[in-house]
Amino acid sequence: MLAFTKKELAIMKRLDTPAKVQDFLNRIPINFEKDGVDRVKSPIMVLRDKSAHCIEAAILGAYILSLHSHQPLLLHLASTQEDMDHVIAPFKTKGHWGALSKGNHVTLRYRDPVYKTIRELAMSFFNEYYLENGVKTMRSYSRPLNLNIFGSHWMVQNEDLWDIDQKLDKIKHFDIAPKEIIRKLRKADQVERRALDITDWKE
């Protein structure tokens, strides 16, 4: 079992608002998994490897929020098989929901706490969730997953957190809309598709 250093704890202690946590997550390079090995790194491993993809950043963000009176929550956004699922870390401020979100594009990013319900929060990602051909791919969202159910050591594990990833797949999900509506979705505009060329980190 690993343990956070004093420096790591001090860094996380300074990140005392969701906005500060998001800024910190943005500065962490994307984990492109160039070695071909899928990972779901724990918070301590993300800090030490200095890279993270969406679920790894969401888990780290949720943990840091939990150090500042928030519940450590994850929310799974499920897509079609042609696209990749996304994971965010929702938080609640004065009765309204926002979310930490790490991506490499201009879409699917941080949400300020202005949404009254989890559904409102999840649906704010819908029109941003599309492929290069403009097809919108988000199909459902999960209920929030509280990471406290995984005990007291998930944040300092050397091993990958596949149990969290698997639980997100199994947890109850809610459909975005009826199938007859999904079949008639309008594609994203050309200008929206071009936005996918803008990235934070080059692979």
Coil, helix or strand for 16? coil
- With respect to residue 158, please indicate whether it lies within any of the assigned structural domains: yes
pLDDT on residue 35:
86
Give 10-residue mean pLDDT values along the chain (203 residues). 96 98 98 92 98 98 98 98 98 98 96 98 98 98 98 97 98 97 97 95 90
The domain tally of the chain equals 1
Instruction: Say which residues have a Cβ less than 8 Å from residue 120's Cβ, sequence separation at least 6.
Output: 97
pLDDT given at position 94? 97
Per-residue pLDDT at 186: 98
- Looking at the domain assignment, is residue 202 inside a domain? no
The answer to the question of residue 57 being in a domain is yes
What pTM was computed for the model? Answer: 0.97
Distance CA 190, CA 28 (A): 30
With respect to residue 112, please indicate whether it lies within any of the assigned structural domains: yes
Quote the pLDDT of residue 203: 85
Is 21 part of a structural domain of the chain? yes
Paired with 173 in beta bridges are: 142
Is 203 part of a structural domain of the chain?
A: no
Note whether residue 1 is domain-resident. Answer: no
pLDDT of residue 34: 86
Domain with 100 in it: what CATH number?
A: 3.10.620
Domain that holds residue 79: 6-197
Does a structural domain hold residue 122?
A: yes
